[in-house]
Structure 1
């Protein structure tokens, strides 16, 4: 089976994280599209999603228009708040096929400001 360039890039990043991961940390997987961004905190040992946050959730896009950068910050703050409630501080940041640039970088920096370590 031949994989596309994006699939190879995604598997390369994820396999490095999974190979180096220990049981004390979970993986934070980020996915973005042209208009939205979403993230999940995943327990790879049990193959379960622990937490998730998305810009598609109710109340995220309020009546006033929010640009994509501010939307990334809001999703990151919401995810960090949920993670602190479940006593999750240390994670591995899985950027997937996306470069650590733009909205993904702002998402990661906002998580760091709100108490997450990676």
Structure 2
């Protein structure tokens, strides 16, 4: 029986077969650990990261409430802000094998509210 991590990696690989970021619509990928959440926008054609945000970012350091879902919302808003600065308006969302609820959904919703299209 596969472990939780192996099952997530299997889902991740299945999703990544179908998703690919282009120059016009890069891939917004989200990773969560037990304490933090990370989001980055990647152009898969060139293999470059266009924007990156995490709950460890200097921009979010003073706003720590201890609530992980609130941190995820702030990360979503920050990644959308950085995408706008990098002239990225639309992305493809990659949940990285995680179920789309909780902190993953909070990042996506906050990024949408901040003006990112996906």
TM-score by structure 2 length? 0.87
CA 6–64 in structure 1, closer or farther in 2 if over 3 Å, else same: closer
Secondary structure at the residue paired with 1:100?
coil
Secondary structure at the residue paired with 2:88?
coil
Q: Give structure 1 regions of 4+ aligned residues with deviation exceeding 4 angstroms.
A: none
Q: Which moved more, 1:58-67 or 1:72-81?
A: 58-67
Higher helix share: 2
RMSD: 1.9
Q: Which residue of 2 aligns with 1:8?
A: 10
Instruction: Give 1:35 deviation, angstroms.
Output: 1.2
Q: How far, CA to CA, are the matches of 1:103 and 1:63 in structure 2?
A: 17
Q: Any gaps of 5 or more consecutive residues in structure 2?
A: 1-5
1:1-118 → structure 2 map (5 Å cutoff)? 4-18=6-20, 23-62=23-62, 65-118=65-118
Instruction: Give 1:23 deviation, angstroms.
Output: 4.4
Q: How far, CA to CA, are the matches of 2:8 and 2:40 in structure 1?
A: 20
2:29–2:95 Cα contact (<8 Å) kept: yes
TM-score by structure 1 length? 0.87
